[in-house]
Amino acid sequence: MLKRSFGTPTLEEVAALAGVGRSTASRVINNASGVKASTRRAVQRAIDELGYVPNLAARSLAGRRADAVALVMTKTDWRLFGEPFFSEVARAVGDALAESGVQLMLTLVRTDAERQRLVEYVRGGRVDGALLMSVRAEDRLPDMLAEAGLPTVLLGRRSSDEQVTYVDADNVGGARAAVAHLVSGGRTAIATITGPPEMYVARCRLRGYQEALEEAGLSTEPSLVVQGDFSVSSGRRAMAGLIERHPEVDAVFAASDSMAAGALTALHAAGRRVPEDVAVIGFDDFELAEQTDPPLTTVRQPMEEIGRTMVRLLLEEMNQPEVAWRHVILRTRLVVRESA
């Protein structure tokens, strides 16, 4: 009779209960060839009876998968996880991975120590790939994961010469279309509320704003550019400051719907009519955009497509590790409502 030990069942106990050697039990667990069907059945019965769970690191070394992917968030402020953009993309990622039978693990990485722990976790074979969201320009985590040999896909990119696979929206083109729409409506004093400059997405949307003004022959007055952080409150503060410094402003392009909603609040508080006095355009096309007063004209990002494309590229890299980095930029579209 097998003498059971206390604690987690071991491979040795599985082998003893099945009446085979340890190496044979290991070959069955790792689905190796050359094992008789009757032996496989005996080992599987032992696994089921004991409740044995294979060591993921050992399986990785044997060429097996952990069947898990890490969704890595790198923001330092928990409030920012409430942004609709991240929740929508994360939902699309989860749906796409569920269809493939791969487990999704949410991981928060904020410090250098947490980055190093994640790399060690990866080296242990506990995940097969990583999807990174909200990565800032100076963050080396994507490079650290790539150096560890882990298939990695970014949401957005850190710079124009990103060397890791990424999926992004056409931020420059979307911003340019938004400002061109304002110009075509006769607006001449057009301000913008940008995101944090250390985020490449914010710099791209600012560039689109500047290019559209230059194409229209309008000056790009630096004081009409105000920084926000993609939140509603930052949009409200930025718009209040713009009204005070530039009472002549007749339009504003906000680099997110959340900041545009904050700008609408500030304009209402100042007695400015939208769009009669000041036209407002956002970026994202969240559900929020249809609920503002008035409903928000905005640039639509294909959030569902972004999430699913990230998963598709990651699964391809997991299956073909030698594949080249892919850089995918998805189209945006201006959605015209009542605010502009």
Same domain, 295 and 322: no
State the pLDDT confidence band at 60, using cuts at 50, 70 and 90. very low
Give pLDDT, residue 108.
85
Is residue 176 in a domain?
yes
CA 184-282-244 angle, to 5 degrees, is: 85
State pTM to two decimals.
0.76
Range of weakest confidence among 152-156, 180-184, 281-285: 152-156
Instruction: Tell me which residue has tokens 């997110």.
Output: 256
CATH number of the domain that residue 23 is part of = 1.10.260.40
Q: Is residue 202 part of a domain?
A: yes
Q: Are residues 36 and 72 part of one domain?
A: no
Tell me what pLDDT residue 102 has.
84
What is the per-residue pLDDT for 81? 55
Are residues 132 and 152 located together in one domain of the fold? Answer: yes
* Judgement on whether residues 253 and 326 belong to the same structural domain of the protein: no
Q: Is residue 3 part of a domain?
A: no
C-alpha closest to that of 17 among 6, 3, 38: 3
Which pLDDT value is given to residue 160? 86
- Do 185 and 279 lie in one domain? The reply is yes
Distance from C-alpha of 155 to C-alpha of 79, rounded to nearest angstrom: 19
244 within a domain of the structure (yes/no): yes
Q: What is the CATH number of the domain that holds 80?
A: 3.40.50.2300
Residue-number span of the structural domain to which 74 is assigned: 68-169+304-331
Phi (first) and psi of residue 291, to 5 degrees: -105, -10
Asked if 128 and 245 sit in the same domain, the reply is: no
> For every residue of the chain, which 3-state class applies, written as one string?
CCCCCCCCCCHHHHHHHHCCCHHHHHHHHCCCCCCCHHHHHHHHHHHHHHCCCCCHHHHHHCCCCCCEEEEEECCCCHHHHHCHHHHHHHHHHHHHHHHHCCEEEEEECCCHHHHHHHHHHHHCCCCCEEEEECCCCCCCHHHHHHHCCCCEEEECCCCCCCCCEEEEECHHHHHHHHHHHHHHCCCCCEEEEECCCCCHHHHHHHHHHHHHHHHCCCCCCHHHEEECCCCHHHHHHHHHHHHHHCCCCCEEEECCHHHHHHHHHHHHHCCCCCCCCCEEEEEECCHHHHCCCCCCEEEECCHHHHHHHHHHHHHHHHHCCCCCCCEEEECCEEECCCCC
The pLDDT of residue 267 is above 90: yes
Residue 286: CB atoms within 10 A of its CB come to: 24
Q: Give the tens place of pLDDT for each residue, 133-151.
A: 877 778 888 888 888 888 9
Q: Which residue has the higher pLDDT, 194 or 117?
A: 194
Q: Name the domain count of the chain.
A: 3
Residue 234 falls inside a structural domain: yes
CB atoms within 10 A of CB 81: 15
- Per-residue model confidence (pLDDT) at position 327: 92
Same-domain status, 310 and 295: no
Question: Is residue 103 in some structural domain?
Answer: yes
Pair 25, 141 in one domain = no
Q: Are residues 237 and 292 in the same domain?
A: yes
Which of 28, 121, 107, 25 minimizes the C-alpha distance to 71? Answer: 107
pLDDT for position 247: 95
Cα(325)–Cα(219) distance, integer angstroms: 39
Give a yes or no: residue 6 inside a domain: no
Is residue 1's pLDDT more than 50?
A: no
269 and 176 inside one domain: yes
Average pLDDT score over the chain: 87
Half-sphere exposure of 139 (CA within 13 A, CB side): 27
Q: Are residues 296 and 316 in the same domain?
A: no
pLDDT tens digits along 182-214: 999 999 999 999 998 888 999 999 999 999 999
Compute CA 280 distance to the chain's CA centroid, rounded to the nearest angstrom: 26
Please report the pLDDT score of residue 83 as a whole number: 67
Asked if residue 63 belongs to a domain, the reply is no
Instruction: Identify the weakest region by mean pLDDT among 81-85, 178-182, 197-201, 291-295.
Output: 81-85
Same domain membership, residue 290 and residue 184:
yes
To the nearest whole percent, how much of the chain has pLDDT over 90?
47
